[in-house]
Every structure is written in C-alpha cells, then in structure tokens.
Amino acid sequence: MFISCDKCNTKYKVDESVFKKPSLRVKCSKCQHVFTAYKTPPPLDDTPFVLEDSGAVIKTQAPAPECKIICVCNQKGGVAKTSTCLNLASALSAKGKRVLLIDFDVQANLSLLLRCKNKKSFFEVMDTDDGDLTKAIVKTKHGIWLLPSNSRMALASKKYLNQENFEYLLREKLARIKKVFDYIIIDTPPSGDFYTLNALLASDLAIIPTQCDYLSMNGVAHIVNMINVIKNKTNHKLDYRGLATLYTPTNTVENVIYKKLKTQLAGKMFDTVINRDSSLQESHIARLPVIEYDENSQAGKQYLELSDELLGI
Ligand SMILES: Nc1ncnc2c1ncn2[C@@H]1O[C@H](COP(=O)(O)OP(=O)(O)O)[C@@H](O)[C@H]1O
Ligand SMILES: [Mg+2]
C-alpha cells in the first residue's frame, strides 16, 4: 500500500504489516514532517484549502511551475472516462505532481469514488459563493484535490446556457487556481453539451478514452470533429490523444479496430493501452485508485505507464 506525507505529498510504499494499530505516526524523510498514516481511510479532510490573494500559493505549498489542463471526454458512456481521471491523477500524484480533479459530470461518479458525494459543486459555488471555486475544493486522502459534483450540477447548464460566452465559464474560473497545480484533469459526461464544451475550452489536451469496437470508433470521430470545430472557430490551442481502454489483447476484432483507430487518429493515440482488468472493477468497490488497491495489477501498471507518456508530451 501507499502512504503520503500530508505536507510535501511524497508517497511511500509500505507493507501493510507495519500497521499494528489502525494508524501510525511516521516522519517524512524528505521534509521531516511528522504525520499520521492510516491503514483504513481516515475521515476526509474537507476543509477547503486557502489560496492566498495573489492566487500564487496553496497555504502550505510552493507554486507549481506550469499547469496542464486535461479534459477526459467521449460522448459515448462506459468507455472508462471516470476511471481514467481517477487513476491517471493517482499515478501523477505518486510521481509527486500536484493534481486537481474536476468532476464536471452530473452523475458525480468521480466524487462517489473519492468519497465526496453531496459536497458543494461548481454550480453551488457559482450560484452562492461569488464563483470562488476554492470554497468547494477538497483534498482527498490520496493526495489529490477534487472539485466535486452532485445532482444539482444539472442546473448549471440551465442557468448559463443562454448567457454570452457561457462556454468560457470554467476556463475563467481556473485562471487563478491553475497557478497552484501541475495538472488539472476534468471528467465530463457522455455528451457534447455545456459541460464538455466548457471543459474542452478550458483545456490544453483532450484525452479520448475508447473501447476498440465499431461504435466507439464512431464516438471518437464525433469528439475529434468537435475539437476541430473548436480549433477552427476560436484561437484556442487544443491537442488530443486517443486512449484504448477496456482492451483485451487476445480479441481479434479489438486488435483490428485498435489498428484502425491508430490510422484514424494519425499518430495521436497513446502507445499505452489499458487492459480490461477485474482489479480495476474491484478498486471501484473499495473506492480506491487501482495502484493503491493492488499495486501489481495490470491496469495499475498501465496507468503509471500512461502518466509517464503524458509527462513526455
Ligand atoms: N480497465 C478496466 N478493466 C475493467 N473494467 C473497467 C476498466 N475501466 C473501467 N472499467 C469499468 O467500466 C465501467 C465504466 O467505467 P467508467 O470509468 O465509469 O466509464 P465512463 O466514465 O466513460 O462512463 C465501470 O463499471 C468500470 O468499473
Ligand atoms: Mg463517467
């Protein structure tokens, strides 16, 4: 299992057998901070973190040099968008990166997996807290920050869709916050509406998870088309990468479609693929990132590989 320092976020791999009690006081060998590590999840620290007025630092941490904002999108459901957000964020965090996840899907599955259901969402902050997103951001026990979602997020589209420049709402709000994170990863719903459009226009990179089947190939074409329209109609710089998920290497049809996807996206597929792996489904039940649930799982190793590939872009 992994434990991480509360202060500098350095992760350590420890054997569960060192826990004679449910919790343990340990000293971080990097920053010398003494903190409590838990065998089972501790109560969630949902104190909103404070950004100083300059927007340059999180209360206890130094500013990040440059933030990359990534939108994980595909109009098709069930292609592992939410799983990719959580596990990519966890893999980047394991490498010492400061990551904010934004749950921009009214289904709020990411918030559920991070035990942050029914917390304040983007909609409530915009509605009642002067749009200061820091009032809703919570730090999770996995060393990842989260801007949660809940069912009331559905009202955001209703409220803002007719306003001028509604598609830039998220981008504007992230301008200050992005100064303190290395990566911001946005989970989106299976549609190309208000939420996905806002996420795409806030992002530098779109990751398009896809299964290797005929209908999913069609879904990829739709989202790539949407990205190209955005690029042509605005001067927004937005790159994209396809990611094969739920992949079964022994399935001939999937292999053929994977090759077709590589051709279709002309060099814009990640080399890493994420195999179908029951550990990932089990990790959802445990509500843990897969590398924390089973560090030797194939999906865990592949999400770590994906984070390496992403760091190289
Ligand atoms: N690598 C994987 N191996 C096995 N099951 C997976 C994998 N990735 C995702 N799943 C399962 O697929 C389903 C859809 O995943 P999810 O991340 O919710 O997709 P989306 O957000 O695109 O709807 C979930 O039940 C999840 O547990
Ligand atoms: Mg989802």
pLDDT at position 87 is: 98
Beta bridge partners of 35: 26
CB of 78 shorter than 6 A to ligand 1: yes
List pLDDT tens digits, range 168-205: 999 988 987 887 889 999 999 998 789 999 999 999 99
Instruction: Name the closest-CA residue to atom 13, ligand 1.
Output: 78
Predicted confidence (pLDDT) at residue 9 exceeds the cutoff of 50? yes
Query: Rounded to whole angstroms, what are the CA distances from 280 to 77, 79, 86, 102, 255?
Result: 17, 13, 11, 21, 21
pLDDT at position 186 is: 98
For residue 88, give the ligand nearest its CA: 1
* Structure-model confidence comparison of residues 33 and 49, the more confident one: 33
Q: 40 falls in which pLDDT band (50, 70, 90)? A: low
Predicted confidence (pLDDT) at residue 48 exceeds the cutoff of 50? no
Predicted confidence (pLDDT) at residue 133 exceeds the cutoff of 90? no
| Global pTM value | 0.84
Predicted confidence (pLDDT) at residue 42 exceeds the cutoff of 50? no
Helix axes 278-285, 81-94, angle to 10 degrees: 90
Q: What percent of the chain has pLDDT over 70?
A: 89
Mutate-to-test residue for ligand 1 from 281, 291, 306, highest number of ligand atoms within 8 A of CB: 281
In order of their start, the domains of the chain are 1-40 (no CATH), 44-311 (3.40.50.300)
Strands 144-147 and 138-139: antiparallel
Q: What is the mean pLDDT of residues 105-110?
A: 97
